[in-house]
Amino acid sequence: MRKYISLLLLLLLPVFFVCAQIAVQPPDKIYGDLFVKVQMNKVFADGKTFVDCIPKKSPAEIMRDYASKKNGADFNLKKFVEENFELPANPTDTYHSNTNEDVETHIKNLWSVLKRNPDKVVEGSSLLALPYPYIVPGGRFREVYYWDSYFTMLGLKENGEVEMIENMVKNFAYLIENYGHIPNGNRSYYLGRSQPPFFSVMVELLAEIKGDSVYQTFLPAMEKEYAFWMDGADKIKPGEIFRRVVKLKDGTILNRYWDDVPSPRQESYREDFLTAEKSGRNKIEMYHHLRAAAESGIDFSSRWFSDTFKLASIETTNFLPVDLNALMYHLETTIAKAKLINKDDSISSIFYTKAKTRAINIDKYFWNKNLNFYTDYDFRTHKQSNMIVPAGMYPFCFINEHPDYMSFLGEKVAEVIRKKLLQPGGITASAFAAGQQWDTPNGWAPLEWMTIWGLDRCGQKDLAAEIAKRWIKLNIRVYKETGKLMEKYNVADINQSAGGGEYPGQDGFGWTNGVLLHLIKIYGR
């Protein structure tokens, strides 16, 4: 009887938790003029600091105090914030690694540092409280992140942390159920956007460990996420767009990245405001492009620019991204598989047909015959991008149709990768040194893994192993020298640190840990 009572309490936990939730508003709505003044006056070097602060008293009381004091001759904005808010902590800052430990032991110990227990709801906090434990990336990234988590799970699997993987998948299902999608991260200021839809890939990973019942458990969440990404697909006409759906003139339906909020990102408010000001372009349009790049996870990269070296030329929402559409293919096939397990053959057939149609259109619109690589498609100009980026490897990771054809293409892309992306420490995030963090000379764990996975799957095993070994060697060398595993690495000049971006290099680091452990398991040290 005790066993069944425990099980019932476990099942009811999310129900109790939902009842405890309060209506969430982002920091700019709660703190108004105070928020704008703090961000624009750069009270904190990192714009993410204030939006992660926890109020020491009710927001209403703080705002009353602010209104009565802000015009005083001796008013000190930073002092006011410090008196009224608890500044966010970075636990990894106080964690001291032992470089005499091998890197595998270091990562295993780090999971407890990066672990967060179920959250408590705090009025005025931007944190979207989650009912189950989870792993954060580390450093300034104090919350769970959507696409990061899949790559983190690769390492959790190698360490036998199955319960943590399942808890994180349940948290993402909870977010879908309560907010309609998985936000960029569990913060109120991220609710306008998602991130690359890896949820079905996480479900598949968990199912490989626990069996097909996992597909049935998380089928409702996958269907709801699919509805989020496909919102408007059944209503728009050829040549029209709505949110994340684009219907081309020939009736083809594909997806793009998008964010509904027409204002600067709150965690980068000052940066976005100034970028839009300097661009001379329509500000609302600029904010949508900047936010859409954040949804892509590739923020920022010359991949999204009309002028390779100018952030002000960003046009993310004009692109149909190849990586996103490959992930949507995987979501469609996974829903089809779950429906088949449920013996819902008719709906399963519908989703398999959707996936096969998307696979055909991925080849039609994204395979660039001139470059011998999959590239993004600009639906405004009706032209393929000329940017060689690792996103072009996603179709090889997921698409199941015509394996012989994929093998033939694999030979071509392997040659392109060797010429354009391969460096001493792995592959670069793009072929251009444009000064952005998702460009040369930087390499990132998720892009390394997706490239290695795709190459291995299309028969290019030697190049896959070569990239893996270069990345492993670089990660371990930096760990031995610094005691850290970094968010990103300089793979072109392995004696220099990675650069670019809106913040300094972060260590921790969830997806680096996960991918490194997974690659060591496959390829050794």
Q: Is 332 among the residues known to form the active site? A: no
Closest CA to 119 of 128, 111, 107: 128
Question: Which residues is 117 bridged to in the sheet?
Answer: none
Cα of first residue to Cα of last residue in the chain, in angstroms, is: 49
Q: Is 307 among the residues known to form the active site? A: no
Locate all alpha helices (DSSP H) within 368-444, ordered by sequence. 394-398, 403-420
Catalytic residue among 161, 376, 487, 507: 487
The two structure tokens encoding residue 370: 């001139």
The two structure tokens encoding residue 124: 């005025």
Structure-derived torsion over alpha carbons of residues 341, 342, 347, 352, reported in degrees to the nearest 10: -10
The dihedral through the CA atoms of 475, 497, 438, 106 has a sign that is positive
Kindly state the helix (H) or strand (E) to which residue 422 belongs, with its residue range. Answer: strand 422-423
Quote the CA–CA distance of 203 and 336 in Å, as a whole number. 13
Quote the CA–CA distance of 254 and 514 in Å, as a whole number. 31
User: Residues 458, 372: contact at Cβ < 8 Å?
Assistant: no
User: Residues 289, 315: contact at Cβ < 8 Å?
Assistant: yes
Quote the CA–CA distance of 340 and 329 in Å, as a whole number. 17
- What are the phi and psi torsion angles at 317 (to 5°)? -70, -10
Collapsing DSSP states into helix, strand and coil, what is residue 323?
Answer: helix
What one-character DSSP code corresponds to residue 87? P
Contacts of 276 (CB under 8 A, 6+ apart): 264, 283, 286, 287, 290
Catalytic residue among 119, 158, 166, 299: 299
Quote the CA–CA distance of 299 and 444 in Å, as a whole number. 12
User: Residues 70, 63: contact at Cβ < 8 Å?
Assistant: no
Structure-derived torsion over alpha carbons of residues 423, 429, 435, 441, reported in degrees to the nearest 10: -20
Q: Can you give the length of the chain in residues?
A: 525
Give 207's Cβ-side CA count (13 Å radius): 18
Which residue reads 């027409």 in tokens?
262
Residues identified as active-site:
299, 487
